[in-house]
Chain A
């Protein structure tokens, strides 16, 4: 059930008032303690001031909300009838054709579908996928999997691939990051060439970001960008492909689960590995 903005503000005010009261109590307790250092008093005072400032702002918001229309707090998108997020992400990955970062998928989804998929949601998506696979590996025709490091065959969780792809496409060898960057750029250009004006316009920014050789603010000539990307790709792709195919042969010797989700990563032992778990 949707709450009116003023109701939400009241709830937040109640919460912050409670925190403010508690902070004031702490401050007074410290004041009464002769052993409390100035640093502790200063920190407690700062906490009280911060909460007080927060209360003031919320009151101001509430004041205005009394006069303003209740339904002007951002764009609300109805979820009814939308495909599950994983399906959309799988489609995006397929269109881009290579393992890519959540950010690129997110930007691509906004540009091509007008759909907002915050990159921060991919972490939980990844975990849900793997758990679902472990429950029943055949439950779905394709899974969102991580890319696999050609050296060591461990997962690279931040790059998203599809289990439906051939193994070498999911592998990352020495030059693959660059190869995939160029391929993703070419996929963006291809989409731009066939899309309507809105999508073309929305793709300009990601294309500009990927075509790093262009000076800032330079006019985008899509044909020239494609030509340069293809030229660079031609010079590095073959060697990269050979590496990935060799790694794929090793990958196929592993269990099906490891083939998709990668081998457990190793941590080298020794004195140097006594990393303190603090920063």
Chain B
């Protein structure tokens, strides 16, 4: 991921709480804590407070996800991310604050959901996709992250987590390089894997960049071909989205008052 410095939240604790004059230099400076937020000092505080950019990971301005960080994604309609739940579009649930990996909002899905996020493809380059998922277990394999063309439902492959277990903050980093998808309709869909024990997943901080422009981090895990069930699901999602693409306005009336 680019520019991780933005993601470093700052603990704002220890600010004076008494009536006081303006902030003095003697006030403690905010320590920097880990990206996902839980600092875990020895005293085991109940919580920590820190700052995030409310517009999310905007340092990655050229992110090819329509909205990689869910900060300008709504819960319904033709949003950058939509959730297909029980064979039709559902209402996207959020979680918020430090329970997300970046920004203020992130997606929360359950076993009935497929979370679909739209991406643009470079005209010629491959696409490097990174995305963070937080299972409720210690198994990153509880999540399934699939790249596909939602025009046709053809799957490009399943992205793999870089680690088998979540990091200290509970997040699994899925990454992969997808072959150029120019003039297709690239997307990912995220589900709880069939054999998972997690009942919910948090999804956040997705990025897609031209592969040639991404920093070299070493080899990315290879994409894995879709299973028959995943292929069927991809085809269903594509067909559903194609049949329900909106060409119009919802609001029929302008209120003159």
Q: Do A and B come from one complex?
A: no
B interface with A by C-beta (< 8 Å) = none
A interface with B by C-beta (< 8 Å) = none
